Structure 1
């Protein structure tokens, strides 16, 4: 299986890339995958050219093919102005409109304060729902104070487990099936019920 990690971090070293690497490692522990990382900072010029002339450069085309051919994605963006970065959004703007249809996606973001954690549900989740991806229930946000804290590690493991489950096609553990339907729950046809009521 192939996991493609899309990191929109701009600095070196990058907390965004660090979170992306942790997510990929956690998925790999649960369901061994071939990991390919797409660093958007190296594709910024080609993305801009593609937006203006409609043609991807060689490196961008390879990244587009990698995403389209992946069994699952882990995508991580820094928070800029309370949303995903422009570079992050621009990359997904230049993908084929069907590239993510039905594809499992784990969303993540990094920021300087916990107050931006809602970016996962207010920006990232709607974006990938629009692209018809299957977004795992647990998103992972890492503020500056989260690094080294137990809560972050727990969220990483939970989200990675959800992505691994979708990628391998294993059913998630759910409630046990009832042994037999209760007699009180027997379905009575509508016409029979009307007859019983004398209608």
Structure 2
């Protein structure tokens, strides 16, 4: 039986937080769907609030701490990543962006990613398409077709005749994400060897010289 590694990244600041709750529910649905397809799943959650100081120091010094490097390795070594952020000033949180700024731009190439966000009002739901999708497109990840935004009023709501309720959206997104992961070829050791950006740039310049 093939074992798949799933990692959920939660940028919630409080404990507990609606951001972590959404990440957990998306992870649960994805695991259930993969289990139905007879995959074993090794799941983990990276709470960015626990490494917030490490992230700030990493940005300033350019050298991640051991704890931060462990979190980065979990994300870059996963077969699928669930990334959920609270919304601040109509975009992802600074903590969320800073963490992904520390990841090598090529490290998530081809990795399936399911994006989600939480906020106080449904007006911020466009953050999924105007901020999160471009971020992971830049990182060359494969973003799942359905993303999930959860406003405060969505929790416990069953939706209406025109809008799916939050549980339905979570189920649909997690199911599509699981199918996307299952359809990807198994990662090889060579796939996990990330060439540092500085080396890629040096190789490019060398090629142009010829």
Q: TM-score, normalised by structure 1?
A: 0.84
In the aligned structure 2, how far is the partner of 1:115 from the partner of 1:68? 32
Residues 12-41 of structure 1, C-alpha deviations (whole Å, 9 max, x = no match)? 110000000000000011003211100000
Aligned partner of residue 9 in structure 1, secondary structure: coil
Runs of 4+ in 1 over 4 A off after TM superposition: none
Quote the Cα distance in structure 2 between the aligned partners of 1:109 and 1:99: 23
Q: Which of 48, 54, 62 is the aligned partner of 1:40? A: 48
- Map 1:22-37 → 2, pairs under 5 A: 22-32=25-35, 33-37=41-45
2:101 paired with 1:98: no
Q: Per-residue CA shift, 1:127-176, capped at 9, x if unaligned?
A: 10011000011000000000012311111011111110111117xxxxxx
Query: How large is the Cα RMSD of the aligned pairs?
Result: 0.9
> Aligned partners of 1:97, 1:109: CA distance in 2, in Å?
22
Counterpart of 1:169 (choices 183, 200, 205) is: 183
What TM-score comes out, normalization by structure 2 length? 0.79
Distance in structure 1 (CA, Å) of the matches to 2:138 and 2:43: 25
Question: After superposition, where does 1:80-91 map in structure 2 within 5 Å?
Answer: 80-91=88-99
Aligned residues: 170
What 5-or-longer segments of structure 2 have no aligned partner?
36-40, 159-164, 185-210
1:74 correspondence with 2:74: no
Unaligned 5+ segments in structure 1 are 171-199
Q: Deviations over 1:95-130 (max 9, x none)?
A: 112111000000000000000000000100011001
The secondary structure found in structure 2 opposite 1:70 is: coil
SS of the residue corresponding to residue 118 of structure 1 reads helix
Q: Distance in 2 between matches of 1:84 and 1:148?
A: 24
